[in-house]
Amino acid sequence: MLDFRKFLQREPEDSPETEVDASGHSVSEVLEEYRSILIDQLVRGGISPDCVEIEVKPGGKMRDGRIVYIGMMRLVKWDRAPSVRLLLGLPILESRLRRVVRGSWLHEVSAFGGIWLHASGQLQDSAAMEDLRTLVIEIEKREAPDSKPPSSSGGVWSLPTDLGALRE
């Protein structure tokens, strides 16, 4: 099985950035257009692009020869409302991206492989984790007010011991 990190780090075969396909568009033009569309949709969704690192990469080829492009975002700054909006709204963002790509010239020269989101390691050892856990519990309470709150041994993930010590 191909290691996921190696897949994301590998360089595309036969796709130098100066290559021009039959449509006359270079790989760098396609990458920049995907990036531009992604940034535009983030802004439309109320998410500042400075909360995420964005990369668009070729991810393979379709049978018809079109290159598949994937958008990858890394949440690097915890700003509560936009960060939660991004985490919960990822399927909405991807749907909007697919719609925009289908209506653009990109659809003729490439295929959109989806959007991936990764939380930065910086966020994993911070108050952002406690904030996110608290939000998950609040959402669950709102959806099922009569249910018991999750116990620390089950239900919502508990924080690692070193993070729990930070709260005290």
CATH of the domain at 78: 3.30.300
Nearest to 105 by CA among 13, 43, 36, 17: 36
Residue 3 belongs to some domain of the structure: no
Cα–Cα distance, 65 to 52 (Å, whole number):
31
Whether 44 and 61 share a structural domain: yes
pLDDT for position 124: 74
pLDDT, tens digit (0-9, with 9 covering 90-100), for 37-59: 999 999 999 999 999 999 999 99
Cα–Cα distance, 12 to 16 (Å, whole number):
8
pLDDT for position 7: 54
DSSP string, 75-100: E-S--HHHHHHHHHHHHHHHHHHHHH
Residue 1 belongs to some domain of the structure: no
Whether 102 and 133 share a structural domain: no
pLDDT for position 134: 86
Whether 134 and 105 share a structural domain: no
Whether 60 and 136 share a structural domain: no
Residue 7 belongs to some domain of the structure: no
Q: Which residues of the chain have pLDDT under 70?
A: 1-23, 125, 147-168
Residue 98 belongs to some domain of the structure: yes
Domain total of the chain:
2
pLDDT for position 161: 46
Whether 60 and 47 share a structural domain: yes
Cα 101 to Cα 33, 96, 104, 124, 152: the distances in Å are 10, 9, 5, 32, 44
Whether 97 and 166 share a structural domain: no
Q: Provide the residue range defining the domain that includes 47.
A: 13-121
Residue 77 belongs to some domain of the structure: yes
pLDDT for position 1: 47
